[in-house]
Amino acid sequence: QSALTQPASVSGSPGQSITISCTGTSSDIGGYNYVSWYQQHPGKAPKLMIYDVSNRPSGVSNRFSGSKSGNTASLTISGLQAEDEADYYCSSYTSSSTLGVFGGGTKLTVL
């Protein structure tokens, strides 16, 4: 069982917006602004989409945004495109371990 909880799947139509949640505890998401999000297409390496809760690396579309409230972080994708169909993983620093923690992953389907 993953330390961070994500919905197994979400879906949306092209042009719509979707939000993926990632729930942890006060030892990880709630206690630190060290949440990151990764996109992974089948057979490919993870790609960093958001770091430090809401920062976008250079080259990542501004359709991707991150936020946090309490022990829950969220990734919002606006203006859904077919290429956004992928698995998404949240990650956080945790004071409970010497390693970070990942969420179980969310499969995004673009209808």
Q: What is the dihedral of CA 31, 62, 42, 91, to 10 degrees?
A: -10
Nearer to another protein, 18 or 39 (CB): 39
Which residues have CB under 8 Å from 16's CB, separation 6+? 80
Question: Looking at 12-20, 39-47, 64-72, 76-84, which segment touches another protein (CB under 8 A)?
Answer: 39-47
Please select the residue that binds another protein; options are 29, 38, 39, 84, rule is CB under 8 A.
38
**How far apart are alpha carbons 103 and 91 in whole angstroms?**
6
Quick one: tokens of 16? 């719509």
Q: Is 93 in the site for another protein (CB under 8 A)?
A: yes
What are the residues binding another protein (CB under 8 A)?
2, 33-34, 36, 38, 40, 44-48, 51-52, 57, 89, 91-93, 98-105
